Structure 1
């Protein structure tokens, strides 16, 4: 029985600008270990807002968020920052790599921030992640020497460096062509199947979503 990694319990969110609008309405679901789940829905349906709450970046909501068996409800910002760094790896539409650092160093940064291992060990782990993604040969290059698809693979390696419980993606193939989207999809699938990684990916790409293990479709702030 795969353990529950994340549980959303009746998550409700309002925006007050200037009138009060309900953006999310009692959203509830569970994510189990090694599930590869996509969240789809039209623009404005609340999927990115939901992702911000589930990633603990937005704490202004009703309901409860449980990550790895622990409620995030009343945690202080410092405690949430530790949860984000230890338990969650992020992959965004834009790779957000720092051009002043090598590819290897970019991958190492969240590991250095967490500080659980020596710098030498973090470097070794970063190489291992780049190897999984087939780009270890690019380790000493600057990010601006890489193609868009390679940059996104570096961003995935960076998300994996602390061996997170959960990878969250916000349109991770949104800037990629079909070939590179396929590469990224295959990487995610391999992470779920071989490495038991749990993935929650918000996407506009219905072809991508159709091949994930489960689709959560949103409409007007709730799960359809």
Structure 2
């Protein structure tokens, strides 16, 4: 069976300029296939979060080429990238960035309403279905600030899924959680890959979690040193 590539980086170079010119990504080349769960590991400062921001199209100041769903997206206008991000990429961060005065359901609906492809009623239905996957539907009408840390992270994953993205990118998604909630969140990720064939790319410093992913990309000093 032929595997399709969801995202591909070709010779990505990235520089910071404060105060002098420093290269933070060096000829980074790799791809992630549909339905694959890939982790990016490395010491703090190795460039893994910088890489994620480039891959997510939030940072466009780089050299090299980036392809999403076999389409070259390097040098695309910002409004095109914004639409691509909202439609094809889901995000889960260490900090969940929920809007506290909104209900749980409203938080999950935000990217769906922004995409503007379905009616509000349809987006609400989809959001409730996503919450149901994570056993959070009974909390749908609570305010986000009434939830525990682990519950908030589950809601943020439901939000990342609302537009049925090609890929979910996560930056230290369990970094703020205790062991029990880390295991729950990681278990959700694994279930998304196995049951829903979701493609996942996760930046983490937790080698125990990385060992449970399909493949680990190791970074050192801005370079990829191994794919295992």
TM-score, length of structure 2 as denominator length:
0.97
User: Deviations along 1:71-98, whole A, 9 cap, x unmatched?
Assistant: 1112000000001000000000001101
Tell me the distance in 2 between the aligned counterparts of 1:191 and 1:90. 14
- Which residue in 1 is equivalent to 2:197? 196
CA RMSD of aligned residues (A): 0.6
1:130 corresponds in structure 2 to 131
Ranges in structure 2 where 5+ consecutive residues have no aligned partner: none
Q: Which residue of structure 1 lines up, in the alignment, with residue 170 of structure 2? A: 169
1:70 & 1:125 partners in 2: Cα distance?
27
Q: Distance in 1 between matches of 2:63 and 2:41?
A: 22
Q: Quote the residue 1:184 is aligned against.
A: 185
Secondary structure at the residue paired with 1:189?
helix
The 3-state SS of whatever aligns with 1:89 is: strand
Distance in structure 1 (CA, Å) of the matches to 2:68 and 2:168: 13
Q: CA deviation at 1:2?
A: 2.2
User: 1:49: which partner in 2?
Assistant: 50
Q: Matched residue of 1:200: which SS?
A: strand
Q: Which residue of 2 aligns with 1:147?
A: 148
The aligned runs of 1:1-224 (5 Å cut-off) are 1-224=2-225
Give CA deviations for 1:35-76 in whole Å, capped at 9, x if unaligned: 011101001100000000000001110100000111111200
SS in 2 for 1:45: coil
Runs of 4+, deviation exceeding 3 Å: none
Instruction: Say whether the 8 Å CA contact 2:11–2:29 is kept in structure 1.
Output: yes
What does the per-residue CA deviation read over 1:172-214, in whole Å, with 9 as the maximum and x for residues that have no partner? 0000000000001110001111111000000011111110000
Residue deviations 1:136-165 (CA, integer Å, cap 9, x gap): 111010111111000000000000000000
Instruction: State the alpha-carbon separation in 2 of the partners of residues 131 and 31 from structure 1.
Output: 28
